[in-house]
């Protein structure tokens, strides 16, 4: 009888601890939600004008593409985290000639952005960005 009570006590404790662990895991998932629709979109510090200036000062036209006089748009997909960091960068275009690699380099160099806002709180946001490569 003593062993039966001990076994039931241990079983109940194990079940209870497992249930609490699953509950905490669920909360973590909610905190890491990446939104597609928000009240305010994320943006480069200083806005569009500052972004264009950043591109003008930092964009290095791929040498081979410049030599062949090629132009293209590189489209990137990425996540702007609620602290403004940029993560999960992938390219959606396959132009070749180094356009996508340069676009990714620029985005990584751009530093922290102003995060998206949803219901008054900073949130993770799934973003897309087109970087044009034009010869002048």
Rounded to the nearest 10 degrees, the angle between the axes of helix 47-58 and helix 99-109 is 120
For residue 136, the model assigns a pLDDT of 84
| Each residue's pLDDT tens digit, 49-82 | 999 999 999 999 999 999 999 999 999 999 999 9
Which fold, 34-133?
TolA/TonB C-terminal domain (3.30.2420)
Q: In the chain, which residues have pLDDT < 50?
A: 1-30
pTM for the complete prediction?
0.75
Q: Are 55 and 106 in contact (CB under 8 A)?
A: yes
For residue 34, the model assigns a pLDDT of 96
Angle among Cα 21, 24, 25 to the nearest 5 degrees reads 85
Q: Are 77 and 128 in contact (CB under 8 A)?
A: yes
Q: Could you tell me where the DSSP H helices lie in the chain?
A: 2-31, 47-58, 63-67, 99-109
Give the separation between CA 110 and CA 85, rounded to whole angstroms: 10
- Domain limits, the chain: 1-31, 34-133
């Amino acid at each position: 009888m003593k062993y039966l009570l001990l076994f039931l006590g241990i079983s109940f404790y194990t079940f209870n601890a497992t249930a609490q662990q699953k509950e905490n895991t669920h909360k973590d998932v909610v905190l890491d939600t990446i939104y597609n629709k928000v009240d305010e979109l994320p943006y480069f510090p200083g806005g569009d004008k500052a972004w264009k200036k950043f591109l003008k000062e930092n964009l290095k036209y791929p040498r081979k593409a410049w030599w062949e006089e090629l132009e293209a748009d590189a489209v990137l997909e990425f996540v702007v985290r609620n602290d403004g960091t940029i993560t999960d960068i992938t390219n959606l275009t396959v132009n070749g000639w180094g356009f996508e690699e340069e676009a990714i380099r620029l985005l990584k160099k751009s530093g922290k952005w102003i995060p998206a806002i949803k219901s008054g709180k900073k949130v993770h946001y799934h973003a897309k960005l087109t970087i044009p490569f034009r010869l002048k």
